[in-house]
Amino acid sequence: MKVTFLGTGDSCDPARKNLSVLAEDHGRAHMLDCGFSSTHGYLARSAQTKLDTIWISHFHGDHFFGLPQLILHFYMQKRIEPLSILSGTNGEEKILSALHLAYPELATKLSFSLNFIELQPGKTHRHNGLAWQCAPVIHSQSANGLRISNGSSSLYYSGDGKATKESIELMQNCDLVIHEAFSLNSSAPYHFSIDECLQLAENLSISRLALVHLNQETRQIINASATVLKRKENTEILFPGDDEKLIV
């Protein structure tokens, strides 16, 4: 599985696109979150990839307001293949409302179908070549972490929010854990921190941990000091930038 970080920033970081990840496997491409600016990260690579699936972790603008623009792009490109959009509850209603506000009547003109699928925590849904599992995380609105697997490799993607017992279970034995680390320590009520991520890595023996969605102050501290973090034993700690690629 090839992973490309289309964006790694928080909601208003001028130097990074909104958090979004592209996972490609066996000829299929799957986009995890699609915020205001993360759409541009995908469009820069659209000649090389055909998007099959989009996952929305929650319905804050920096995680799904890029969808109307992306759907418009596919319409203008005369796409005919169905597009699957996976999320937690009420995804279809929220996404179609955003699409109508951005481009009224576009949904009635599409030459391809939008297939909305609601994932249920605790259940595995097999779709477009992957096994999809979600679990609730603690955020300021309903939000879910996600595990995807092709049978031989797997990754966990947190979206935003503090880890829960259920989401931690999904992280176990993943080849790559992508987790938001908004602050250095656990000072934010609805976001995870670098310290908490490192503790998880130790507790779960995570082999590769990619920390994303750092707020601007935290990112500047990390960039300015090579001694802020030490490599954890048996865990590779990554701070990926936009358009950085990994093989899982």
Q: Which of 182, 178, 180 is nearest to 216 (CA)?
A: 182
Q: Which candidate, 48, 59, 70, 57, places its Cα nearest to that of 21?
A: 57
Report the amino acid identity of residue 109.
Answer: K
Catalytic site residue from 33, 62, 160, 175: 62
**Distance (Å, whole) CA 221 – CA 178:** 20
Q: Does 33 participate in catalysis according to the annotation?
A: no
Q: Which residues are paired to 179 by β-bridges? A: 211
- Rounded Cα distance between 68 and 25, Å, is 25
Q: What tokens does 72 get?
A: 């418009």
The answer to whether 67 touches 99, Cβ cutoff 8 Å, is yes
CB 31 within 8 A of CB 13: no
Phi-psi sector, 9: left (phi>0), alpha (psi -120 to 50), beta:
beta
Distance, first Cα to last Cα, the chain: 5
Extended strands (E) in 33-187 = 51-55, 83-87, 114-118, 125-127, 130-137, 143-149, 154-157, 176-180
Which positions are catalytic?
62
